[in-house]
Amino acid sequence: MTISELTEAEKRHLSKLEINSGYRLACQAHIKQNVVIVVPPESRIGERKIQVAGLERYVPLSPLVKKVHMVLAKPTLSDVRPDFERLIDHLTDTINFEDLDIDYDL
């Protein structure tokens, strides 16, 4: 056989007609020997398809990383804390971050 067997993903996403016509998902098929691949006309770039109708739903964004602009006070003789401690204190006071930790190597 020149191509791997159908995967479960292909069985879920392709119709029986597509499977019987020899369609495969490029991201799932593993080629084992030389083969000829034909890209169907509906999948070619020649004509672009735009979805003009469908369901729209609100998706709240909640990224794990967020940019925070801070200006820390410079160390003084009366405040000799390390930068990390001053950073943690500032984050706790301004945006209520708690239990922050940093890798020692960083």
Q: What angle do CA 23, 18, 48 make, to 5 degrees?
A: 75
pLDDT tens-digit map of 25-82: 888 988 888 888 888 877 777 666 677 778 888 889 888 887 888 888 888 899 888 8
What is the per-residue pLDDT for 86? Answer: 87
What is the per-residue pLDDT for 47? Answer: 64
Mean pLDDT on 5-23? 91
Answer yes or no: is pLDDT of 17 > 90. Answer: yes
| Three-state DSSP state, 20 | helix
What is the per-residue pLDDT for 51? Answer: 73
Q: Which of 91, 95, 11 is nearest to 23 (CA)?
A: 11
